[in-house]
Chain A
Amino acid sequence: MAEIDDYSDIYAKHAIQQPNELESIVVLDGMPVIGEDKQPKLYKALKKTLSTKAGVEVEDDQFYMPLVDGKGDGYIFLTLKNSTEATTLIKKLDNVPFDSKHTFQINKFSEIDSYLNASDSYNEPAIQPHKPKDHLRSWLGDAQGRDQFLTFQADEVLLNYNNRNNPPEVAQAKQNWTNSYISFSPQGTYIGTLHRQGVILHGGPDLNEVCRFAHPNVKLIDFSPKENYFVTWSNEPIVLPKPGTSTVCPFSQDDEGNSLAVWDVKTGELLRTFPTTPGKMPWPHLKWSGDEKFIGRLVPGQQISIYSVPDMNLVDKKSLKIPGVVDFDWRPWGDKDAVDSNKGNQRENMLAFWTPEVENQPARVTLMSFPSRQVLRSKNLFNVSNAKLSWQNQGDFLCVQVNRHTKTKKSMFCNLEIFRVRDKDYPVEVVELKDIVTFFAWEPRGERFAIIAQPDTSNAQNMAPGVVVKSSVSFYQLDKAKGDFRLLKTLDNKSVNTIHFNPRGRHVVLSTIGSQSKFDLELWDLDYGMDEKKEEIQQIGQVEFYGVTDIDWDPSGRFLAASASTWRHQLENGYAIWDIKGQELTKTTVEKFKQFLWRPRPKTLLPKDEQKKIRKNLRDYSRTFEDEDAAEESNVSAELLTQRKALVDKWNAWRKQCRQQAALAVEESAKSGDDDTTVEEWVEEIIEETEQVLP
């Protein structure tokens, strides 16, 4: 029975891990050097200080002051109830004065212990051999200059080349690549995948891991415009790993409880963390200036804090105090700014913000330069219920969509306040509308914008139930001579709710997203007949995609993709790609289709004059490409034909073999002749078969 009584192995297996006792012991340093006689008095004073300043109640027997020659040495051991109490004590009282002459220097005993164990000799770290890195922009070297797109279905991620005449070609396939969604960096260099432990950036021809950022339970990510930095957010505040565990954690005590982190993409290092304010959080929460030199954080109603990057210090050590501020946005970095910057005369960064009406003070939109903090232009507005800032992507114009109410507050209407930012004194034009604007979009690189407007029905009482409010789509253009915005065309009686401008301008798609009954996409050309010098706005195509949830133009503006993601609904998920006129190129329904993304392209490196030259000689260039396309097309169809021919031959051969076998079987059964009646029936079968060949 002896071996049965021996439970030591089970005890060992289930033994409760004793928390490191040293964790709850702290060393109070910088204390007065006193004799044993004064000990009770010191303890009393300490107890009072700990209780009042740190809220930690202790008894005399928790102190231990080692005595040397009957005197203390200026430090006291204090055993606390647990390690959390120790942590609070350090947080509250470390570097805090005890009396006029003495200041607390508090450390956990475990820390001191760990320094004791440090080796005295210096070990030179081994220098890692240089490993060549993948070319992160290798996809731009595609011989045919094709764009890539990424599709995410079930657990599979595919990176495809978009072929004009053929089905997409899969460049890379990855299984179980991300825990939630996938994001490209703004210039397409990196692909970010989210995992429980953090974010991984992938790049290069094989999409290998480039960098990883340990932010547990990350939920949202955002790249800076030039993709040098990176912001992550988790809904769970950062918790430091327990001391002693081996997990690598980039966070320090200062980061505890924060939930936003800013990282350097190239080094993978953490730059700084921020807390988020409770309540609704707009994303991106931290906004980058166009040149990536600053990052701004809004504290609604109070201030905008702007930090310089990468040192992440608050610029001039003070925030912009703007009582009531609702929203702000930086002016984007246009091509012109890049040229100016290369010449060395970069304009200062600019930001726009607005404050609502408070008592007798009107609502106000302000343009401010930064870091000089000079107000460039501000405009007062009245009867404002809401406003929305929209910058044109080149940073030429700012449109403030102002929802205003009539004096009775019974109905709403909208004004568009448009700031021309590149002109002297920042002139403001106002477009007054009777309706409310539900959607606003600038033409990228253009001087036009499109809006969807509909009458305000929030207070209408005589609305028949089930009546759908029809919207109108209007296009406006800057009139350079007059300096105001002129209405080009209004399309009435539309039920669309989104406008997607082609990234190259000129073309738009009008669509209805999130509707069960409407799912057509209208393609419009704003410069129809431009070659014949009679420009007009004309519809050039219409396509359908059931249950469309996302619409994207490819970076070249030649192709349009629509997708239906299973994240929104489970009906006919998949994607389709059309050309600019609505000719369908590919359409796939895939179960559990989640995400469709075009891979963005970096800005062109060709200077303006070279671009002009290409545009001028476009016909000559396109001829060679058309020849290539034609050759490829005939190639492919020839390939397909041979493949089909092989299939037919294989089928015919198999059928022949089947027939022979069947005939053989009949013969055999006839020979064996064990059942006369069945033999007759078999003969009948064969006759029937020969009959079949005739029609």
Chain B
Amino acid sequence: MKQMVLRLSTLNFDIEDGEHQMREMSESDGSTASNFASGLSVNNKDGDLIFSVSKDHRINVWFSHNGERLGTYEGHNGTVWTVSVDKNTEFLVSGSADNTLKLWSVKTGTCLYTWEFPTAIKRVQWSNDDTKILAVTEERMGYKGALRILDINKEQPTQQAAEPSIFFEPPGSKVTVAAFTANKNELVTAHESGKVAKFNYQDKTQTAANEDAHQDSIQDLQMSQDQTYFITSSKDKVSKLFDTNTLQVVKTFATDSPLNSASIAPGSPYIVLGGGQEAMDVTTTGARQGKFECRFWHKVFEEEVGRVKGHFGPINTIAVHPQGKAFASGGEDGYVRVHWFDDSYFRTKVYGDLEPELD
């Protein structure tokens, strides 16, 4: 491990140092300054756009290659927690603390349809065939955390069914994150108790569960590109890779700080973890102790290979370029940082010729 870190210092991750201080740009537009990035979505095909959402009620879309802002989507009246874009970059869905779920036209920035639910929407995701969306709602005010599947009418986007096609409340601990799998009618859920489970959403039945996946609340769950495995990150400072089929732990990455987000980097044997001391404790310590770095771990050897510094608040979300060319991190400090990997990142073999097959 020690040697790995030393070698990495020559590996220069800071490729173009594509650090774009996006907050300043938005300020020049006359918007409010409190812009805590709470979610990121990179459009699936090309990775040329980054959608960011924050506590300032607004969704921004940026060019990933230079950090310039392409536009905003305004209409939410609360923190926007989550955003997801379809494969053709036509439609955008967002979920907010104002209890609404909105469908947007990516191109024009107009809100096409608004659903209203009893509690905040914490997670949205397009299905693989872009016909449905999944929404996870918060457990609050007597309402249990719920999962909803909404069928999207792409032909007439402003004419949507007001009621979800599927609604169910998974029993037990609250769902924090959920994602579609490659199998029909199946989704995986991650829970506040640290459990991960699989559900058939047609039958509303739990098909598999791993109760002790984590010791604390799971903050993020991201699928691998072929959806055969996924990565979780938890407040218990551990990130894990799971086999989607069996829900068995494949790899474990134990760090020293609570983790908010984890992402699998395609085209390289690494995963990217982000987190840091919880926002409420940040003021009591300096940036040094906050552990606000993005950490790169080797996904097979379970060893940390490098860190990328820059944020001065906890990292809320991480997204990797669909072709693994860059990664973006959004922090409580209000910055989205984009780093493009340089050639040495792909060429350098930290472990010599021993490398796993890449996805």
Residues of A within 8 A of B (CB): 546, 571-572, 584, 586-587, 589, 591, 641, 644-645, 647-648, 651-652, 654-655, 658-659, 661-662, 665, 669, 677-678, 681, 685, 688-689, 692-693, 695
Contact = CB atoms under 8 A, between A and B. Distances in A.
Interface string B167-208: 000000000000000111000000000000000000000000
Contact of A651 (B129, B184, B356): B356
Interface in B119-147: 128-131
Nearest to A516: B286
A658 B245 contact: yes
A688 B182 CA distance: 14
Nearest to B352: A641
Given A647-B300, A648-B355, A659 B256 contact: no
A658 B184 CA distance: 16
Contacts of B355: 648
B359 interface: yes
A681 B354 contact: no
A587 B2 contact: yes
Given A591-B256, A692-B323, A695-B267, 7 more contacts: A546-B288, A654-B243, A655-B357, A658-B226, A662-B227, A681-B128, A689-B226
A692 B266 contact: yes
Nearest to A658: B228
Interface in B256-300: 256, 266-267, 285, 288-289, 300
B301 interface: yes
A678 B226 contact: no
Given A651-B356, A662-B226, A572 B289 contact: yes
Contacts of A689: 225-226
A695 B267 CA distance: 7
Contacts of B128: 681, 685
Contacts of B358: 693
Contacts of A586: 2
B63 interface: no
B243 A658 contact: yes
Contacts of B117: none
29 contacts: A572-B289, A584-B2, A589-B256, A591-B256, A644-B351, A644-B354, A648-B356, A651-B300, A652-B357, A654-B243, A655-B228, A655-B356, A658-B226, A658-B243, A659-B226, A659-B228, A662-B226, A662-B228, A665-B183, A669-B184, A677-B131, A678-B184, A681-B128, A685-B128, A689-B225, A692-B267, A692-B323, A693-B358, A695-B267
A692 B359 contact: yes
B130 to A, nearest CB: 8
A678 B132 CA distance: 12
A615 to B, nearest CB: 33
Nearest to A677: B129
B250 interface: yes
A533 B243 CA distance: 66
A644 B130 CA distance: 40
Nearest to B323: A695
Given A659-B226, A659-B228, A665-B183, A571 B359 contact: no
Closest 6 CB pairs of A and B: A658-B228, A681-B129, A651-B356, A571-B289, A651-B300, A648-B356
What's the dominant secondary structure at chain B's contact region? loop
A647 B351 CA distance: 12
B64 to A, nearest CB: 17
Interface string B11-47: 0000000000000000000000000000000000000
Contacts, number: 68
B312 interface: no
A658 B130 CA distance: 23
A665 B243 contact: no
A652 B323 CA distance: 21
Nearest to B44: A688
Given A591-B256, A654-B250, A665-B182, A571 B285 contact: yes
A648 B225 CA distance: 20
A95 to B, nearest CB: 64
A288 to B, nearest CB: 42
B229 interface: yes
A659 B358 CA distance: 12
B256 A648 contact: no
Given A681-B129, A695-B267, A662 B301 contact: no
A691 to B, nearest CB: 9
Interface of B: 2, 128-131, 182-184, 225-229, 243, 245, 250, 256, 266-267, 285, 288-289, 300-301, 323-324, 351, 354-359
Contacts of B130: 681
B250 A661 contact: no
A678 B183 CA distance: 12
Contacts of A681: 128-130
A192 B300 CA distance: 42
Contact of A641 (B229, B256, B354): B354
Given A658-B243, A662-B182, A644 B356 contact: no
Contacts of A661: 228, 245
Nearest to B5: A587
A647 B128 CA distance: 31
A684 B354 CA distance: 32
B118 to A, nearest CB: 31
A231 B185 CA distance: 72
A143 B101 CA distance: 69
Contacts of B354: 641, 644-645, 648
Contacts of B256: 589, 591
Nearest to A695: B267
A272 to B, nearest CB: 48
Contacts of B225: 688-689, 692
B358 to A, nearest CB: 8
A665 B323 CA distance: 25
B174 to A, nearest CB: 27
Contacts of A692: 225, 266-267, 323, 359
A438 B185 CA distance: 73
Contacts of A647: 300-301
A450 B232 CA distance: 54
Question: Counting chain B CB atoms within 10 Å of each CB, which of A587, A658, A662 scores highest?
Answer: A658
B139 to A, nearest CB: 30
B183 to A, nearest CB: 6
Contacts of A589: 256
B346 to A, nearest CB: 8
A407 B73 CA distance: 79
A677 to B, nearest CB: 7
Nearest to B303: A644
A566 to B, nearest CB: 13
A685 B228 CA distance: 13
A586 to B, nearest CB: 7
B275 to A, nearest CB: 15
B20 to A, nearest CB: 25
A651 B224 CA distance: 14
A652 B357 CA distance: 6
A658 B227 CA distance: 10
Nearest to B183: A665
B301 A644 contact: yes
Contacts of A584: 2
Contacts of B226: 658-659, 662, 689
Nearest to A656: B357
A658 B289 contact: no
Contacts of B324: 695
A69 to B, nearest CB: 85
A669 B301 CA distance: 35
B270 to A, nearest CB: 13
Contacts of B323: 692, 695
A586 B2 CA distance: 8
Nearest to B268: A695
B218 to A, nearest CB: 20
Contacts of A658: 226, 228-229, 243, 245
A602 B130 CA distance: 74
Contacts of A665: 182-183
